[in-house]
Amino acid sequence: MPSTWWTRTRHYFLYMVREFTSLPLAIWLLWLLFDISRRSLVAPGAFAVFSVIALPFALYHSWTFLTLAGTIIHIKLLDRPVSSRLIVMSQFGLWIGASVLIAFLLTWLSK
């Protein structure tokens, strides 16, 4: 298997993009944990810039993850299978709800 296997098809390439987008997200989280452990921001400007860079990666990764949930989760309600579309929509709904709640709490705590 050549190391360039992921360039063979568009599907393989998108898979690699999906997997790669977790890397900036992981680095961002490690940076955040490091700052939390020191109880101060080491380089606030650089962290803000990196946060902006990492945001589209995080959004893309979350989008792919939540979209795939429709394939993975299979549940029945009242003996009827719940459609994957409904599962995906509920995942996105929960994601948006959680984001709004966290944004509200952060804004409220910073006052």
Residue reference for tokens 């599907």: 11
Short-list 80, 75, 78, 103, CA closest to 90? 75
Count of residues touching another protein (by CB under 8 A): 15
Alpha-carbon gap, residue 30 to 38, rounded angstroms: 12
Q: Does 17 bind another protein (CB under 8 A)?
A: no
Q: Does 1 bind another protein (CB under 8 A)?
A: yes
Q: Does 15 bind another protein (CB under 8 A)?
A: yes
Q: Does 8 bind another protein (CB under 8 A)?
A: yes
Q: Does 23 bind another protein (CB under 8 A)?
A: no
